[in-house]
Structures are given as structure tokens and as C-alpha cells.
Chains A and B, each alone.
Chain A
């Protein structure tokens, strides 16, 4: 009789230790992976802010802008302010929406500039804009890809067994779409 007790207590203890260890692993892993995603989010925002700041300087240099360009510039200006405010308030969903607006307008602006060579001062300014636009696009793309790979690791971690048992209340992150960044950019030459 006593032997059976020992077996039962031993089995329960073993199972408890296993469950406890898995729980700790899941909880710690979630925190670690979540921190990586947060850090990558910050990096994307920093790259976007940097891009908007640099390209904003060129936009100021555009002269004799026609109506179409002026409308892009107004959209970009408003969205830049909204983006900065959203990042400040840590409202990342809104920040992403504003970033999408700005970057879509940037791409449109580049195409329009190509069609309206009179809207910028010199060839150097145009070439410089293209270089900066392309380089900052590459930098943003790189940081978004890093962000997405962290999101992928996080989502897989919380959705796979046995972690899913303990982390069912966690929401998977959304992958950051590269719609406005991976299109083929106009070439200069």
C-alpha cells in the first residue's frame, strides 16, 4: 500500500516539475522574444524618422512645384507630424499607418519628379534625392526585415506546443508589410 503512495507522489512531483519547468521556459522565452520585437520596432521607427527628416530637407528645396507635387508635399507633411506624435505616444498601430501614407507618397513623388524635371533645382539635387531616397529605403527595408524575423520567431514561439498551453492569452504580432519599400525604384542615368 505504502509503495503505491510513493509511486503516486513521485509521479505527481515529476509531472509538477516538468510542467513548472515548461511554464518557466515559456514565460521567459515569451519575454525575451517580445523584447526583441520591441527593440526591432524601435529600430524601424528610428530609421523611418531618419528617412523622413533627411528627405524632408530635399522637399523644402523643391521649387516651382506644380499642384500634384504640392498635394504630395502636404500629405507628407501632415503624415510626418502624425507619425512623430504616434511614436511619441507609443501608438505603434497609428505610427505604422502614417508611415504607410508617407512612404506611398514618397514613391509617388519620386515618379512625379521623374516626369517633371523642372520641379527641382539642379541635377545634383535630383541625383542626391534619388541616392538618399534609395539608401533610406534600403535601410528601412533592412530594419523591417529584421523586425519581421523577430516577429516570426515570437509568433512561432507562442503558437507551438507546449508553449501554447501557457501563452494562449498572448496575441501574435502582425508582419510589417513591405509594400511601399520593395517596389523597383526609378533609376537615374
Chain B
């Protein structure tokens, strides 16, 4: 009889739990955060370039007392890929949900691809949405970003070499944006984008998969009362050490945003 009661209560609790949670299916955040290749369209060298230099920018180079005083520290560049039409995805919602950049100093580049029936591992590039965070838009206008895009992604050299190489074009564009942020927004005297691009060129087809955190964060949101019940349950497990085991088993390292917001300042083409 007791078992039946417990079972009944368990079923009721589970129903409430499932009803209260909403799985974050919007566009799952990757554990690497700065690079989110859901279309599986990029080479590991491109992903590593973005992961490495975006981490360095956010965690090290933007942390300067002067920038902190000006409240412009914590710039983040995030690159994501998506299969589908640009209109099928709300990048502002994704930007704000991920909290890209501290002090609203974030930039999101969302590349859109169409499935390729001939080769499912090489989707076709169809366009890009560039979205600039609220404060960053005061330092980097869409006009300037478009200028950088034309000089890099649409550089005349791509008429003869790397014609359909969106990895190379993205690397070129990304490095130019880095240069703009380092030298025009922050006060770095120089940024050797040429050397960086040369290095990318030499290593474009090397494998860097092991150097980038893999997988996606499965984000499930609960109502406050569920968190209360979970906390109470956790406390009851404290004695047995089970509570700490929960953390140990879920302790996966991942990067995250700085709480930045976008006011919808974006451009797609």
C-alpha cells in the first residue's frame, strides 16, 4: 500500500516537474560558446581560430583597468552556423539569451546554410546575419562592419582563389574584425592580422578538434518551486554525500557569455 502511495506521489511530482520545465530548444549553446557550428559547415581550424582568439580577447586582452573605467571591457565575438533561411531564426533572441559580451560589448555572426543534396557534409552558404550589442554599436557601426565585410569576404582575390571557401572567407573577415576591435576600440598599437592569416592559411587543413570543447549545453529551465524542491532533496542527500556527487558528475567545463544585450541592431545579407 505504501509503495503504491509513493509511486502515485512520484508520478504526480514527475508530471509537475515535466510541466514546469521548458527545454531550451531555441538554439543550444555550445560548450565552446564562441563557436557554435550547428550546421557542421566549418573546418576544425576555423573553429579553433575563433575559439582561441575570442577566448583571448574576452578573458585576457579586454581586461584592462582603462577599459573597465570606461565600461567597455569584456568584448566577445561569437560565430554560429545554422541550416535554414535567415528569417527562420531570431538572432536577437539568441544574442540576449546567451548574453554575448560584458557591458553589452558583444558581436554575433550567424552564418546561414542550405542543405546540399550532393554532399551533406558541405552545406551551401546562403548569407550571414551580423548583430552588434547595445554598447558595441556605439564603437562599431554596421556601416563599418559592412566595409570590413566587403574588403574581406568579398575581396576581389576570391574571384580566382578560394572561390567557394567560406572557411577562408570567414577567417579573413573574423581576423579583420579582431583587428578593428583591438586597434580602434581598445588601444592596442598594432595587431598583426597578416601574420595570423598566413598562419591560418598554412594550417587550414590541420585537425584541431581536441583543442575545442565539444558538445552542447542542455539547458532546462524550471520554475522557482522546482528549484526549491531540488534544493531540499539535495540537502536530504547531503549526509550520504550524494548531493556532492551530483555536482561532480555534472561538472563539465564550458565558456559562457557576460550578460550582454542586443537592441536588435542587425543586418542580414
Residues on A close to B: CB < 8 A? Answer: 43, 47, 54, 58, 123-124, 127-132, 134-136, 138-139, 141-143, 187-189
Contact = CB atoms under 8 A, between A and B. Distances in A.
Interface string B137-149: 1000111111100
Given A127-B150, A188-B269, A132 B264 contact: no
Interface string B246-269: 000000000000000001111111
A32 B145 CA distance: 39
Contact of A136 (B92, B146, B147, B265): B265
A143 B92 CA distance: 12
A131 B145 contact: yes
Interface residues of B, number: 18
A18 B141 CA distance: 54
Interface in B160-212: none
Contacts of A142: 92, 263-264
Identify whether the interface residues of A are mostly helix, strand, loop, or mixed. helix
A142 B190 CA distance: 36
A47 B137 CA distance: 11
A188 B150 CA distance: 12
A85 to B, nearest CB: 24
B265 A54 contact: no
A83 to B, nearest CB: 19
Contacts of A141: 264
Contacts of A132: 141-143, 146
A143 B264 contact: yes
B59 to A, nearest CB: 28
Contacts of A129: 143
Contact of B146 (A43, A128, A139): A128
Contact of B147 (A43, A128, A134, A135): A128
Given A139-B263, A139-B264, A187 B142 contact: no
Contact of B267 (A43, A47, A123, A138): A138
A131 B264 contact: no
